[in-house]
Amino acid sequence: MIVGQQKPFDEIWEMVKGFKKVLVYGCNTCVAICHAGGGKEAEILTSLLRMKAAQEGVDLQVDHAAIERHCEPEFFEPLDEKVRTYDLVLSTACGVGVNFLADRLGGSMPVYPGINTTFYGGVPEAGFFVELCGGCGNCVLHLTGGICPIVRCSKSLMNGPCGGTNNGKCEVSNETDCAWFLIVERMKKLGTLEKLYEVQPPRDWSTGTHGGPRRVSLEHIRAYEEQEEKNAATEGRR
Amino acid sequence: MSVLSQSTKRGSVLIVGGGIGGMQAALDLADSGFKVHMVQRDPSIGGTMVMLDKTFPTGDCAMCMISPKMVEAGRHLNVDIHTLAEVTSVDGDAGDFTVRVKLAPRYVDADKCTGCGDCELKCPKKVLSEFDQNLGQRKAVYSLFPQAVPNTRAIDASQCLCLNDPDRKRCRLCEKACKAGAINYNDKGRELELHVGSIILSPGLDRYDARVRQELGLGRWKNVVSSIQFERILSASGPYKGVVQRPSDQKHPKKVAWIQCVGSRDNHNANPWCSSVCCMYATKQSIIAKEHDKNIEPTIFFMEMRAFGKDFDKYVERAKNEYDVRYQRAMVSAIREEPGTGDLLLKYASEDGRLITEKFDMVVLSVGFQPHGDAEQFAKTFGIETNEYLFAKTSPFAPVKTSREGIFVTGIYQGPKDIPETVMQGSGVAGSVMAMLAEVRGTEIVKKELPPEKDVTGEEPRIGVFVCHCGTNISSTVNIDEVVNAVKDQPGVAYVTNTIYACAQDNQDMIKQTIKEQNLNRVVIASCTPRTHEKLFQETIREAGLNKYLFDLADIREQCSWCHKGQNEVATKKAIGIVKMSVAKSRLQEPLQSETVGVTPACLIIGGGIAGMTAALSLADQGFPVHIIEKDPELGGLIKHVYRTLDGLDVQEFLKDRIGAVNEHPKITVHTGVEVKKTDGFVGNFKTILTDGSAIEHGAIILATGGVEYQPTEYLYGQTPNVITQRQLEKTLAEGGSPGTGKRYVMIQCVGSREEPNQYCSRICCQDAIRNAIAIKERNPAAEVIIVYRDVRTYGLREDYYKKARDLGVIFVRYDVDKKPQVEQTGSVIQVRTWDYMLDRELSLTADWLVLSTGLRPHPTTEHVGAMYKVTRNPDGYFLEAHVKLRPVDFPSEGLFVAGLGHAPKNIDETVAQALAASGRAGVILSHEHLAVSGIIAKHKRELCMSCLSCFRVCPFGSPYIAEDGKVSHNEVKCMGCGICAGICPAKAFQVNNFRDDQILAMIDAAVESEPGVVN
Amino acid sequence: MKSGSNLERVIASGKMAVTAELGPPMSADPHEVIKKANILKGFCDAANITDCQTAVVRISSIAAAFIALREGLEPVMQMTCRDRNRIAMQADLLGAAALGLKNCLCIAGDHQMFSAAGKLKGHPGAKNVYDVDTCQLVGIMRKMRDEGLQQGGDKLEVAPKFFIGASWTPMGDPMDFRPYNLKKKVDAGADFIQTQGIYDMELFRSQMEKARNLGLLERTAMLAGIIVPKSAMMLKYMDSSVAGVTVPKSLIERMNKAKEAAGDDKKKARELQEQEGIKITIELIQQALEIPGVRGVHIQAIEWESAIEPIVKAAGLYPRPTFPDA
Amino acid sequence: MVDGAVTEQTGVSTIEKPREIPEGWEPNVLAFACHYCAFAAADLAGVMRLSYPPNVKIIRLPCTGKLDHIHILRAFERGVDGVFVAG
C-alpha cells in the first residue's frame, strides 16, 4: 500500500497561515490506513490549525472534509462547490491525490500537500511500515527469492553483495538489513543458490521513472468508454 | 455421588456466612439457576476481607475488589440476604432441609431505608466501632462500614438511649431525622423457616485475642496493636484516613515491628495450627506502610517465612530489596513500654545467641485465626463432625464436603487459607451443589416479567430529568431548584422535577408513572454514582417499557455535593454542568438490543490428571457431557507416583476409584494419546479438532495441563544410587522397604525452587519430606533423619505433622541460600557439609541416603496450549489467571478456566478444590441456553472499514477477525466494550454503544458551555 | 599482453607484484599528488588512485592518475559505479586510455549516506547513480577492449587497452557466497583482484582454498590487501566497524603492549605503535605471499605513504623489477 | 501520531507561550476517567467527603483506551484550560 507521513506541523503552518479560508481535505484509503492523511487525521489537523491561528491572533477559518479516494474524479464531484468556496485546499492525500486535484482545479486555487508520500510498503506490525517495492516497472523478484534488490539494496546491485555488508547489515545503517545477505540465505533455503552464480547483464531502467512519466492504458476498457461517449453524444444526453 | 431419590428435592441453597467465600458460592449458584438464602450474623455482608486495606501479593485494594461482588449479591434477584440472622435448627436431609432462622431486631425498616445516613448525623450516642477494631467510633444507629450491603442502617440496642428507656421517650432524634420514616423502635425481630436442597457453611473464623498474652502488652500498651487494627490504620476509609500514626500520641512511627505467629503454632494458651496468612500479610503491611510513609523502618520478627503461594516469594524478595524490610529470625519474649514516651522495648535473642532489647515506636501483633466462640454449638446445630480444633472435618480428596450428606463447607472454617483458596472453595462448593441438585436447577428462581419495549425510533428526544435530594446529602450543598430551572429549557428536555430519594421504592414508581404520563423516551437522573445505581434505574425504566439503555446517571453526589461541602454556590454551578453533560449525551442515545447467543452444554477438559478428572466428574454429575483430552496413553497425570497424603490416606486407591468413576460415567468421553489440534469459536460455541481428526462442539474449556517434577542436576544426583528424590523414597517405603537401624537419611529442601530463575516455592516438598520422615521414624525409630531446610512451610493444619516429626526425633538444620550445603562422595560414603546457625559452626554429616526435595515445573505443553488459547503465562511459565484474588480459576476471555498445577504448584486437596471451582464456574455458563451479550459493546460498520487491521492488533479480547470474504469483521460476543478499537480506528468504523464520539463531543461542548466567560 | 602496463608485466613475469595506494586531496592544487607519487615511485609496481573514497569529493581518479603517470609512477585508476551512468563511464574510460592510463580497478563505491558517518559532512543528499554494478562494469570494459564495442552495441574506432581489476572482500558476509562473488567478477573479465585488508590469515587461507577449487586463481591475479595499522585504537575500530575485516585479538594485544610500554608519554606511545604497526605489516605480507595463488600484495598506508619504503624493503620486495624495453 | 511526530521531528515545540494570569481566574479542567479505576476513585473521594477545587468535571469512559485525539483537541478548542486523563 502507499505509505506517507504527515508533514511537521510547523511546516504546514508556514504554508497555511497566509490564507483566509482553508479546507483540510482527507483521503480515506491508503493514507488513512497508515494514519497519515485520512478523514480522522484531517479533522485533527484542522483542530490544531484553528488553535494555532487563535494563539497567533491570525484570522483563519479552517474546515475539514474527506472522500473515499483522491485519485478518481467522480469522488470529487459531490464536494466540488464546497471546495471552490475556500482559498486554499490542504490535501492530506498522497502525492497522486494532490496532483490530481490540482489538475482538476486547473489553477483556480492552490492545492498544497499535507503529507510526505514516501513508498509502497508492508506493515510488519501496527504502526511500523517498511519499503518493499520501488515501482521499477520490470520485476526481477523471481531471480532473487522474492527479495527486491532494487529497493531493499541501497546500491540496487544486481550482482551483490558489495564489500560493505557488516554482520548482515548494510553500510548505510546497522538497522537496515543487507538485501543480498537475505537473498543468499533465501536462495539457499529454496535450493536455487546457483541461479545467483550467473552475472546479470546491465538492467534496462527505462521501464522505471528514468524512462520518463509512465501511463497504463487498457485498450479494451478505453474502447468501451469511447463508445459510451459516442452514444451519449448522439443521443444528446450530455 | 450417591443418586438421591427424586422426591422433594429443593432448587434452593442456604449459605451460612456472608464473607467472600459465601458470596462467591452465592453468585455462582444464583447465576446458574438456584435460589440462594444467605444468613449473616453482622448487619452487613463482607466478612473479614472488607476490613482489609490492601491484599498480597498484588497490592490491590480489598474494597475495590469485593464491593462489586457485594453490590451484585445485594441486588441479585435470586439471592435473599438475611442479616443479623442465625440458624437455630436444621432438620431433614440432603435435597430437602428445613431450617429455622432467628433474625435479631434491626429497628430500621429495610424497605423504607435508602441508606442516606441522615439519622446517623443526628444520633448523639458515640460508640467504639467494632469494624474499626475500637480505634474509631460509630453512632448507636450505624452502618457497619460506608460501602455496607445492605446499606440499611441498624440500631445497636445495647447503646441506643431510646431503646434502653422502658417507655421509649428519650432522644428519638434519628426518627425525626429520617424523612423516609424507616425507624421503628418496637421492632421485635422474627423467625424464618426455609426449605433448601443444600447447605453451605462459610462462617469464617475469629481472630485470636492476643490480650490473653500479657507479655506482649496488647490492651496495656497503647502502641501495641493487632494486625487487623493496623489494617484499619492503613485503610483510607479507616479511623486515621490512611495516615500511619500511633494510637497513643498520633505521632508518625519510624521503627515499626511485626511479631509473627501470635496465637499460632503454640499450644501454650494459643492455637497449635499455622494460620497460613500472617507471614504474607505482615510483609504486605510493611510494604504498604512504607508506601504511605517512606521513613518507616519495618522489622518482622518471625520463625519461618511461609511464602508458599503463587508469586509470594517474589513479593518477599521485593519487600527485602525495594522496601528494605528487615526480617529478624527471632521470637520476642516480652514487650515493655518506656515510661513517658510511649515507645516500646522488645526483648529477644539474636541469631548468635545475644540477648537484645531494642526500642520500637510501634508494634503490630500478627494474630492468627481461631474458630468462633460458639463453634461447638454451631457444629451441633448442623449435625456435622469437626476435628479436635473445631474446624469442619473434611478429607483432602473431598475438601468441601462435611461429614453430613448435602452439607458443604467453604473458606477458613475448613482450615486457615488465604483469599484465592477461599474463592476457589466458594466456586468449588457451588460446583458440588450444582452436581447434587442438577435435576432441580431453575425450579425456584424468579424470572421478572417485563412489558413490551416501546419503539422510540424516529421520535424527537423527550428527556425526563429527575434531580435527587438524596435526603440532605445533595440538597445541603447543591440548590436543587436552581438545577431544575437551569435544565428546564435545555433542547430535548420535556420534563424536569426533583425527588427526595430517587432510589427509594416510591420514587421509582413515581418515575415509571411520569414516563408514561409525559410520554418520555429518555431519562436522566441526577443523583449518585452509576457504578452502584445504574443497573437499578435501568431496570426501573425498562419496567416502564423503555429500552434500558435510554438512561444516563449524572453523579452530583459523590463527585459534586459530597466533595464540595460548604461551597454551595460553586457546587450548584458544577452540578448544573454535570446534568447538562448527561442531557447532551442522553439527547443522542439510541435504543440498544443486547443479542443473545446459544450455548452448547458440553465441556472440553485438556489434561487427564486429578484436576481434569475431578472437574469432569463434577460437570458430568451436573448433567453436562464432558470430553477429557489426555496426551498420554492413560489417565492419572503426575499423581501416578504419589502413594500417601500427609495424613496417611491412600492416594493410589483414590486415583484408582477416580479413574474408575471417570471411565464408567456415561457423560464422560475420554480421548487418550491425542492432543487438541485447533479450537475455533467463542464462549458457548467452541469447535475443537483433535489430532486424530475427531471434532467436538462445546461451550467451555478447562485447562488442566498439570505439571512435572524438576529433574535435579545438583548435589551429585544421578552420579550415585544413594542420592534419590522424595518421590523415589516414597516409592520404596510404599513397597514395604524398611529403613535399617542406624541408617541416616539426610534430606535437602528447596532443590530447584526459591532461587533465580525459579524464584517460587513449589509448596509440596516440605509436606513430602515430613511425611517420609515420619514414615521412616515410625517404621524404625533407630533410623536417623536429618532435614536440612530453609523454611519448613507446613502451613495451615499441616503444622501438627511438623510437630509430630520433631517429637519422633527428626532433626532440623537450617541453611541459607548463600551458604548452600556442599555434597561430596568419598568411596560409597556421602558427606554433607552445611553451616548450622544454632551451633554457629559447620556441620559435617555422613549420609547413607541423601534425599532431595525437588520442586515442580509447569508441564512442557503449557506453552503450546497457552499460545493456542491466547492465554498469558507468568514469568515462571504458569498460566496467569484473570484476577489473582477474585477470579482465580477464570481467564480474561470468557468460557476458559484453569485448574491444577498448570495454574501453580499446590497440594492434592487444593487441586481438587480448584478443579471443583473450575467445574462450578463452567457450570454457570453451561447452565444457560442463551448467554446475553451486554448492550455496552463496540459496533462495527463494515462499509466504513478498510480492513487496516489496527483494531485486530490492539483488541485484548481478539474480537475483530478476518472473515471469509477477507475483510475485517467484529465478533460482538467476545467484545467487552472497552473501546480501544474505537480509539485507534482511522476510519471511525468502530463506535461503542452509549459512548459514541458524537456523544462524548456533545458532553465536552455541554461541559464548556456552562462555564460563561471562558477564554477561548 | 592485454594492456602492456608495468603491473601487468610484473604479474606476467611471475614475480610478486606490489601495489600501493594514493589518496588525492580535496583541492585543485596537484602538488599533493606529485609529492605522494614521488614518495611511492620505485617502491611499487603501480599505485591505486582512489575515486572519491567514502563518497568525499577529491581530485578525480583519472586526473590524479595522469599526474602520477607524468611523475613516472604507474597508476591504477579506480572507477566507482556510484557517480556515473554507463554513458559517462565509457566516455571516461576512452579518455583515460587516450591519456595513456592502462590499469583500472572497478568498485561499487561507498554509498553517499555512508560518508555522513565519518567526521566530514559529505553529500548525503546527493542522488546516486548505480546504473551498473561492479561485475557489469568489468564486463563493459572487457567488451570495449576485446570486441571494440560499446555496451549499447556501437563500434569503437580504436579499442582501449585495459588491465581490468576488481575488488574482493573474502571475509565479508555471507562468507560462504564470497568465492562465488569472486567467480562472477572473474567470469566478467577481471584480470587482477585486490582484496579488502587481511589480518586473519587462517580465514583468508580457507577462502583462497575455495577460490582455487573454483579454478579462479589461474584465471586472475590475486593481490592480498594489507592495511598498515597505526595504533591499537585503529585496529579495534577496523575489527568492530569496518565491513569484512576481522582482527585477531593477538594483534590488538601486541599493539596495546606497545602503547603501554610508552607509559603516558603520548608522542612516544604513537611512535612505538607505528613501529609495531610496520612490523605487523611485514609479517602479514610474508604470510600472504606464502599462500598459493597470491600473486602480490596491495599495501594501503592511509595518509602514511612514507611507510611504504621501509615496509617494501624489509619485506624483501625491493628493488622492484624493471623492463628495459618498456 | 500528530503531536508526537510534530515535536520529535522539528525539535521546536509548539507549546503555547505562557501568558500572565488574569485576576481571580480559575482554570476550567475536564477529566476523562475510566469507569473501573479513576471514576471509582473519584467516587471514593466523595464517599470520604474529601474536598477538592470544584473546577473539574469528569467524563466517564469504558476505558481510557477509548479516548480519541479529537476529544482532547475539541476540549482545548472549546476553551478548556486543562485535560486530565486517568485510567
Query: pLDDT value at position B1?
Result: 40
Are A166 and C183 inside 8 Å of each other by CB?
A: no
Query: From B947, which residue of chain A is nearest by alpha-carbon distance?
Result: A33
* Cβ-based contacts of A171 with chain C (< 8 Å): 110-111, 114, 243
On whether the CB atoms of residues A92 and A27 are closer than 8 A, the answer is yes
Q: What is the pLDDT of residues B414-441, one digit of tens each?
A: 999 999 999 999 999 998 998 889 888 8
Q: Looking at residues C299-326, what average pLDDT do you find?
A: 89
Query: pLDDT value at position B352?
Result: 80
Which CATH number describes the domain made up of C6-228+288-314? Answer: 3.20.20.220
Residue written as cell 581490468?
C164
Amino acid making up residue B135: L
- For residue B601, whether the previous peptide bond is cis, meaning omega lies within 30 degrees of 0, is no
* B396-B397-B402-B403 Cα dihedral, nearest 10 degrees: -100
Domain around B347: 209-370
Which CATH number goes with the domain that contains B302?
3.50.50.60
- Give the distance from CA B248 to its chain's centroid: 34
Among B907, B922, B917, residue whose Cα is nearest residue B395: B907
Q: Does residue B161 register a pLDDT over 70?
A: yes
Query: pLDDT value at position D8?
Result: 41
d(CA B119, CA B109): 13
pLDDT level of residue B277 (50, 70, 90 thresholds): very high
Query: pLDDT value at position A35?
Result: 92
Amino acid making up residue B887: R
**Residues B480, B568 within the same domain:** yes
Handedness of CA C156, C160, C161, C165 (dihedral sign): negative
**Closest in A157, A166, A178 to C133, CB measured:** A157
Query: From B578, which residue of chain D is nearest by alpha-carbon distance?
Result: D57
Chains A and B touch (3+ CB pairs under 8 A): yes
Amino acid making up residue A162: C
Count of other CB atoms within 10 angstroms of residue B664: 8
Which CATH number goes with the domain that contains B523?
3.40.50
**Residues B233, B364 within the same domain:** yes
Are D59 and B1000 inside 8 Å of each other by CB?
A: yes
Q: Looking at residues B956-970, what average pLDDT do you find?
A: 87
Are D71 and B241 inside 8 Å of each other by CB?
A: no
* Cβ-based contacts of D71 with chain A (< 8 Å): none
Residue written as cell 489417565?
B635
On whether the CB atoms of residues A28 and A97 are closer than 8 A, the answer is no
Query: pLDDT value at position B2?
Result: 42
Tell me if residue B601 falls in helix, strand or coil.
coil
Q: What is the mean pLDDT of chain C?
A: 93
Tell me which of B594 and B590 has the higher pLDDT: B590
- Between CA B678 and CA B689, with CA B684 as vertex, the angle to 5 degrees is 20
Q: What is the pLDDT of residues A81-92, one digit of tens each?
A: 999 999 999 999
On whether the CB atoms of residues C28 and C18 are closer than 8 A, the answer is no
Give the residue range(s) of CATH 3.40.50 domains in chain A: 2-119
Asked whether residue B142 is domain-assigned, the answer is yes
**Residues B291, B395 within the same domain:** no
Does any CB of chain D come closer than 8 Å to the CB of residue B1001? yes
Query: pLDDT value at position B596?
Result: 85
On whether the CB atoms of residues C230 and C201 are closer than 8 A, the answer is no
Asked whether residue B714 is domain-assigned, the answer is no
Instruction: For chain C, positions 72-101, list CB contacts with chain A under 8 A.
Output: 81-82, 86
Contacts of B660 (CB under 8 A, 6+ apart): none
The half-sphere exposure of B643 on its side-chain side, counting CA atoms within 13 A, is: 14
Q: Which residues of B927-948 are buried (b: 16+ CB within 10 A; e: fewer)?
A: bbeebebebbbbebeeeebbbb
Q: Long-range pairs for B714-720 at CB < 8 Å and ≥24 separation?
A: B714/B751, B715/B748, B715/B751, B715/B821, B715/B823, B715/B850, B715/B852, B716/B823, B716/B824, B716/B825, B716/B830, B716/B850, B717/B852, B719/B825, B720/B825, B720/B828, B720/B830
pLDDT level of residue D9 (50, 70, 90 thresholds): very low
**Closest in D47, D74, D78 to B146, CB measured:** D47
Q: Would you list the DSSP string of C31-73?
A: HHHHHHHHHHBTTBSEEEE-SSGGG---S-HHHHHHHHHHTT-
d(CA B407, CA B401): 7
Q: Does residue D2 register a pLDDT over 70?
A: no
Q: Looking at residues B177-196, what average pLDDT do you find?
A: 90
Q: What's the residue count for chain C?
A: 326
* Cβ-based contacts of B953 with chain A (< 8 Å): 125-126
* Cβ-based contacts of D14 with chain A (< 8 Å): 9-10, 52
pLDDT level of residue A237 (50, 70, 90 thresholds): low
* Cβ-based contacts of D69 with chain A (< 8 Å): 40, 44
Amino acid making up residue B633: P
Last residue of a domain, one of B527, B561, B587: B587
Q: What is the pLDDT of residues B89-125, one digit of tens each?
A: 999 989 899 999 999 999 999 888 888 888 988 899 9
Q: What is the pLDDT of residues D57-76, one digit of tens each?
A: 999 999 999 999 999 999 99
Q: Looking at residues B302-312, what average pLDDT do you find?
A: 92
**Residues B72, B195 within the same domain:** yes
Helical H segments across B876-992, by residue range: 908-926, 950-954, 980-984
**Residues B241, B361 within the same domain:** yes
Are C130 and A155 inside 8 Å of each other by CB?
A: yes
| Per-residue CA distances from C59 to B56, B891, C49, C137, C258 (Å) | 74, 71, 10, 22, 37
pLDDT level of residue D13 (50, 70, 90 thresholds): low
Contacts of C283 (CB under 8 A, 6+ apart): none
Min Cα separation B709/chain A (Å) = 39
**Residues B197, B134 within the same domain:** no
Q: Looking at residues B940-945, what average pLDDT do you find?
A: 91
On whether the CB atoms of residues D2 and A49 are closer than 8 A, the answer is no
Are A184 and C174 inside 8 Å of each other by CB?
A: yes
**Residues B193, B58 within the same domain:** yes
Cell of B120: 446517623
Q: Does residue A202 register a pLDDT over 60?
A: yes
**Closest in A155, A161, A200 to C172, CB measured:** A161
Query: pLDDT value at position C116?
Result: 52
Tell me if residue B901 falls in helix, strand or coil.
helix
Query: pLDDT value at position C171?
Result: 93
Q: Does residue B7 register a pLDDT over 70?
A: no
Sort strands B206-207 and C221-227 into parallel, antiparallel or unpaired. Answer: unpaired
Amino acid making up residue B61: C
Are A10 and D2 inside 8 Å of each other by CB?
A: no
**How many structural domains compose chain B?**
7
Query: pLDDT value at position B19?
Result: 93
Query: pLDDT value at position B502?
Result: 83
Are D79 and B64 inside 8 Å of each other by CB?
A: no
Min Cα separation C303/chain A (Å) = 22
pLDDT level of residue C326 (50, 70, 90 thresholds): low
Does any CB of chain A come closer than 8 Å to the CB of residue D47? no
* Cβ-based contacts of B555 with chain D (< 8 Å): 43, 58
Q: Does residue C117 register a pLDDT over 80?
A: no
- The predicted model scores a pTM of 0.68
Q: What is the pLDDT of residues B475-499, one digit of tens each?
A: 889 999 999 999 999 999 999 999 8
Domain A2-119 has CATH 3.40.50: yes
Q: Which residues of B298-314 are buried (b: 16+ CB within 10 A; e: fewer)?
A: bbbbbbbbbbbbbbbbb
Q: Does residue B1016 register a pLDDT over 70?
A: no
- For residue B396, whether the previous peptide bond is cis, meaning omega lies within 30 degrees of 0, is no
* Cβ-based contacts of A192 with chain C (< 8 Å): none
- Give the distance from CA B25 to its chain's centroid: 11
pLDDT level of residue A228 (50, 70, 90 thresholds): confident
d(CA C113, CA B413): 74
Helix (H) or strand (E) holding B278: helix B278-292
Query: pLDDT value at position D1?
Result: 32
Residue written as cell 527505462?
A206
Q: What is the pLDDT of residues B819-862, one digit of tens each?
A: 899 999 888 789 999 998 878 889 999 999 999 999 999 999 99
d(CA A163, CA C107): 9
Min Cα separation D67/chain B (Å) = 6
Last residue of a domain, one of B327, B348, B370: B370
Q: What is the pLDDT of residues B131-155, one digit of tens each?
A: 999 888 999 999 988 778 888 999 9
**Residues B355, B399 within the same domain:** no
Handedness of CA B99, B102, B108, B109 (dihedral sign): positive
DSSP state of D65: G
* Cβ-based contacts of D12 with chain A (< 8 Å): 10
pLDDT level of residue B3 (50, 70, 90 thresholds): very low
Q: Per CB distance under 8 Å, which residues of A are interface residues toward B?
A: 28-29, 32-33, 35, 38-41, 54, 123, 125-126
Q: Looking at residues B149-171, what average pLDDT do you find?
A: 89
Least confidently predicted of A225-234, B431-440, B725-734: A225-234
Q: Which residues pair with C103 in a beta bridge?
A: C76, C163
- Between CA A81 and CA A93, with CA A87 as vertex, the angle to 5 degrees is 75
Q: Looking at residues C32-47, what average pLDDT do you find?
A: 94
Count of other CB atoms within 10 angstroms of residue B840: 10
Are A123 and B949 inside 8 Å of each other by CB?
A: yes
Residue written as cell 606529485?
C34
Among B149, B150, B151, residue whose Cα is nearest residue B118: B151
Are A40 and B949 inside 8 Å of each other by CB?
A: no
| Per-residue CA distances from C43 to B286, C19, C257 (Å) | 81, 9, 30
**% of chain A beyond a pLDDT of 70:** 99
* Cβ-based contacts of B948 with chain A (< 8 Å): 32-33
d(CA B943, CA B951): 15
Residue written as cell 488574569?
D22
Tell me if residue A100 falls in helix, strand or coil.
helix
**Residues B366, B237 within the same domain:** yes
* Cβ-based contacts of D1 with chain A (< 8 Å): 35, 44
Asked whether residue B1014 is domain-assigned, the answer is no
* Cβ-based contacts of C82 with chain A (< 8 Å): 155
Chains C and D touch (3+ CB pairs under 8 A): no
**% of chain C beyond a pLDDT of 70:** 98
**Residues B525, B605 within the same domain:** no
Does any CB of chain A come closer than 8 Å to the CB of residue C239? no
* Cβ-based contacts of B946 with chain A (< 8 Å): 28-29, 32-33
Helical H segments across B623-779, by residue range: 651-664, 726-734, 765-779
Which CATH number goes with the domain that contains B168?
3.30.70
Instruction: For chain D, positions 1-60, list CB contacts with chain B under 8 A.
Output: 25, 28, 30, 35, 39-40, 42-52, 54-55, 57-60
**Closest in A156, A163, A193 to C243, CB measured:** A163
Query: pLDDT value at position B948?
Result: 86
Q: Does residue B267 register a pLDDT over 90?
A: no
**Residues B60, B196 within the same domain:** yes
**Residues B335, B426 within the same domain:** no
On whether the CB atoms of residues B342 and B246 are closer than 8 A, the answer is yes
